[in-house]
Amino acid sequence: MKTLKKTSPKKLSIATRSIHGDNLGAFTGPVATPVYQTSTYRFSDSRDAVRYAKGDPSVYVYTRYHNPTTTEVEKKIALLYGAESSALFSSGMAAITTAVLSFCKQGSEIVSTPALYGGTYRFFRDTLPEFGINVRYVGSDSLDDLPYMVTNRTRLVYLESPTNPTLGLVDVRNLVARTRRLEKEFGRKIVIMMDNTFATILNQDPFALGVDIVVESSTKYLSGHADIMGGVLVGSRALIKKARDRAKHFGGCADPFASYLLDRSLKTFELRVVRQRENALKLARALEKHPKITRVLYPGLTSHPQHALAKKQMKGYGAMVTAEVRGGVKAAVKVCDSLRVAVNAMSLGGVETLVSIPVYSSHINMDAGELARHGVTAGMIRISVGVEGIDDLVADFRQALKKA
Ligand SMILES: Cc1ncc(COP(=O)(O)O)c(C=O)c1O
């Protein structure tokens, strides 16, 4: 038995950390985190403003900078990742854009793996060049090319694994080791940033793989009920401070009530994600056998081309499954429109199973070349598996596939 008195919260299970944070043992106060629904704070005297400016963390001045409800959740998420610090944002994209524009400036270069969430990809493609920041792509199957991509202008290596929507994996340890060698060669630090939204800390620990900073859209698994928007950065105190300073200007701060809902949802984080991944494996296996399905992409299937890598670098395989229907987009539409339990809606990570067609959603307006580069085909249906009864889900997909 653990003697909890002496146990550091970091040593407790993720389930326990996501409920209690570091509030262990005797402490008085509310069990649920109070919502500080305020934009500003009373000073005890005028010198509080000076105390804040000198870095006193006990002085709150303005909710765009910080808020006690949000701070509580930030502490908890840093603890879940075993990291020094974390910062919450109004959305995943606010976290991503703020971080990228904190670590890069005009003339900087980014090296990224190409299969990215559509919003991130479009930010890299359409917005960053207007700010003089160039992005180069290194295929996850051609990491040998990294030395040709990294230059003395490279400030950031960016990756997502598993990728959206093809559930491909990047060999993270390999990418990190190669980047560190190039860092030495160029004599400068390159920040390695990873989007861990699909896996979450329950299924994958990017810091154990050597990554510097993690982003998650907390709209997804962390909150898990399709009712809030949010984003989170996790990493060292120094990197998070850099992003936090930028965030004060960009203004994408978390709303206190959204922070409260996120904290409430974190209490069932482990329960939800464990059930979701169990359902995902069962659904993936059932779909794989179906005659109208040509391919099922799920890292937990032995048929997944990178299953061995998934076993090595992931703690669980997550709950995102992509199935390719025979008959292209017409058949995919028929299936999605015939489902009765699973919901035809964008987004992912909630307790309800959601489906979407990548060529109609995350990858719309991409030309054939871009789609091919992302490995996206017209008949793909992306499934975010929820916590419903698995027999109901399997039966639902079977009846919808019958109509395709
Ligand atoms: C992998 C991934 N990263 C980032 C985002 C952006 O998050 P948000 O929609 O909260 O801005 C999404 C949204 O779908 C996503 O799927």
Q: How confident is the model at residue 27 (pLDDT cuts 50, 70, 90)?
A: confident
- Rounded to the nearest whole angstrom, what is the distance from the C-alpha of residue 356 to the centroid of ligand 1? 14
Ligand 1 is surrounded, with C-beta below 6 A, by: 91-93, 117, 119, 164, 195, 197-198, 217, 219, 229, 231, 347
Atom of ligand 1 nearest to the CA of 362: 14
- Rounded to the nearest whole angstrom, what is the distance from the C-alpha of residue 2 to the centroid of ligand 1? 38
**Residue at token pair 């060669």:** 185
Say whether pLDDT at 307 is over 70. yes
Higher pLDDT, residue 362 or 33: 33
Atom of ligand 1 nearest to the CA of 164: 1
Quick one: average pLDDT of 232-242? 98
What pLDDT does 4 receive?
Answer: 59
Residue 93 Cα distances to 31, 83, 276, 304, 324, angstroms: 31, 21, 24, 29, 28
Is the dihedral angle over the CA atoms 373, 347, 231, 25 positive or is it negative?
A: negative
CA angle 390, 271, 8 (to 5 degrees): 155
Say whether pLDDT at 384 is over 60. yes
Say whether pLDDT at 336 is over 70. yes
Distance of CA 322 to the CA centre of its chain: 17
For a substitution probing ligand 1, which of 88, 100, 220, 262 has the most ligand atoms within 8 Å of its CB? Answer: 220
**Residue at token pair 């890069």:** 104
Half-sphere exposure of 228 (CA within 13 A, CB side): 24
211 C-beta neighbours (distance < 10 Å), count:
24
Q: How confident is the model at residue 355 (pLDDT cuts 50, 70, 90)?
A: very high
Say whether pLDDT at 172 is over 70. yes
Residue 360 Cα distances to 220, 278, 328, 337, 376, angstroms: 20, 28, 12, 13, 11
- Rounded to the nearest whole angstrom, what is the distance from the C-alpha of residue 17 to the centroid of ligand 1? 24
What pLDDT does 238 receive?
Answer: 98
Q: Which of 9, 233, 197, 2 is nearest to 101 (CA)?
A: 233
Say whether pLDDT at 358 is over 90. yes
Task: Name which residue sits closest to atom 9 of ligand 1, judged by CA.
Answer: 92
- Rounded to the nearest whole angstrom, what is the distance from the C-alpha of residue 231 to the centroid of ligand 1? 8
Q: How confident is the model at residue 121 (pLDDT cuts 50, 70, 90)?
A: very high
Higher pLDDT, residue 365 or 280: 280
What pLDDT does 373 receive?
Answer: 78
Task: Name which residue sits closest to atom 6 of ligand 1, judged by CA.
Answer: 92
- Rounded to the nearest whole angstrom, what is the distance from the C-alpha of residue 202 to the centroid of ligand 1? 18
CATH topology of domain 10-266: Aspartate Aminotransferase; domain 2 (3.40.640)
What pLDDT does 7 receive?
Answer: 76
Quick one: average pLDDT of 258-275? 98
- Rounded to the nearest whole angstrom, what is the distance from the C-alpha of residue 83 to the centroid of ligand 1? 22
Structure tokens at 298: 């799920």
Quick one: average pLDDT of 355-365? 90
Helix, strand, or coil (residue 90): coil
What is the pTM (predicted TM-score) of this model? Answer: 0.96
CATH of domain 269-403: 3.90.1150.10
Cβ contact 65:223 at 8 Å = no
Helix, strand, or coil (residue 373): helix
- The pLDDT tens digits for 271-306 are 999 999 999 999 999 999 999 999 999 999 999 999
Q: What percent of the chain has pLDDT over 70?
A: 99
Q: Please report, to the nearest 10 degrees, the dihedral formed by the alpha carbons of residues 54, 55, 58, 63 taken in order.
A: 100
Fold match between 10-266 and 269-403?
Answer: no
Say whether pLDDT at 49 is over 60. yes
* Domain residue limits, the chain: 10-266, 269-403
Q: Which of 358, 351, 365, 366 is nearest to 328 (CA)?
A: 358
- The pLDDT tens digits for 385-396 are 999 999 999 999
Half-sphere exposure of 387 (CA within 13 A, CB side): 14
Q: What percent of the chain has pLDDT over 90?
A: 90
- The pLDDT tens digits for 181-196 are 999 999 999 999 999 9
- The pLDDT tens digits for 1-25 are 455 567 788 899 999 999 999 888 7
Structure tokens at 126: 């359409």
Say whether pLDDT at 28 is over 90. no
Atom of ligand 1 nearest to the CA of 96: 4
- Rounded to the nearest whole angstrom, what is the distance from the C-alpha of residue 149 to the centroid of ligand 1? 26
For a substitution probing ligand 1, which of 89, 98, 117, 255 has the most ligand atoms within 8 Å of its CB? Answer: 117
What pLDDT does 5 receive?
Answer: 62
The answer for residues whose C-beta is within 8 angstroms of residue 241's C-beta and 6 or more apart is 85
- Rounded to the nearest whole angstrom, what is the distance from the C-alpha of residue 357 to the centroid of ligand 1? 16
What pLDDT does 23 receive?
Answer: 87
What pLDDT does 3 receive?
Answer: 55
Q: Which amino acid is residue 77, in one-letter code?
A: I
Helix, strand, or coil (residue 47): coil
304 C-beta neighbours (distance < 10 Å), count:
20
Beta bridge partners of 383: 321, 355
Atom of ligand 1 nearest to the CA of 95: 11
What pLDDT does 258 receive?
Answer: 98
Helix, strand, or coil (residue 323): strand
- Rounded to the nearest whole angstrom, what is the distance from the C-alpha of residue 134 to the centroid of ligand 1? 22
> How high is the mean pLDDT of the chain?
95
For a substitution probing ligand 1, which of 197, 228, 364 has the most ligand atoms within 8 Å of its CB? Answer: 197
Quick one: average pLDDT of 22-50? 92
What pLDDT does 231 receive?
Answer: 98
Give CA–CA dist 74/88, Å, rounded. Answer: 6
Task: Name which residue sits closest to atom 2 of ligand 1, judged by CA.
Answer: 117
Lowest model confidence (mean pLDDT) among 230-239, 266-275, 371-380: 371-380
